Amino acid sequence: MSSKKEKIFKEILSYLLVIMGAAAFSISVRIFIFEPFTIPTPSMVPTLQISDKVIVSKLAFKIKPIKRGDLIVFHSSIGKDLVKRVIAVEDDEITLTDSGDIYINGEKINEEYILKDYNISYMNETIVVEKGKVFVMGDNRNNSYDSRYLGSISKEDVFGEVVFIYLPLTRFGKVNGKL
């Protein structure tokens, strides 16, 4: 009889070890590699919609540099994690014009991700992005609290890159954030 109890105990122990291993693996993935994130505001419309569920790669900028066009998630000075598009990187000179155009180092950028019938106007200003920082903007320019108000974002506050939309299923797929 003790042999039967021992077999049951070993069986239960093996299941517990598998469950604990799976839990440790998924917690590790969540903490160090990928994080689910819900889009909180309309600032990235049309690229990302309010309540889209996305996957954020926490490893992305540990293995490659942040570059123009990347969709980043960062800890903001207003106490919220925000998603924005990188428009300029350190040492870039960005010029915003009252006609709605943006120039990086003297060259006008083409922003295909902004709605065509969108009326955008900026205050005429030129900014040089400091070392260790990036200049970010939402794709929905008239409804985005971004570097125009927050200032350039420290790379240390960036914790990942938006790589994939998983919900709603009608928007399921990879996010292309290139400029």
Active site residues: 43, 84
Tell me 158's DSSP state: E
How far is the C-alpha of 98 from the C-alpha of 156, rounded, in Å? 31
How far is the C-alpha of 68 from the C-alpha of 146, rounded, in Å? 15
Cα 99 to the center of its chain, rounded Å: 28
Dihedral sign for Cα atoms in the order 159, 162, 166, 171: positive
Question: Distance of CA 136 to CAs 10, 76, 173, Å?
Answer: 55, 11, 23
And the tokens for 96?
Answer: 């915003």
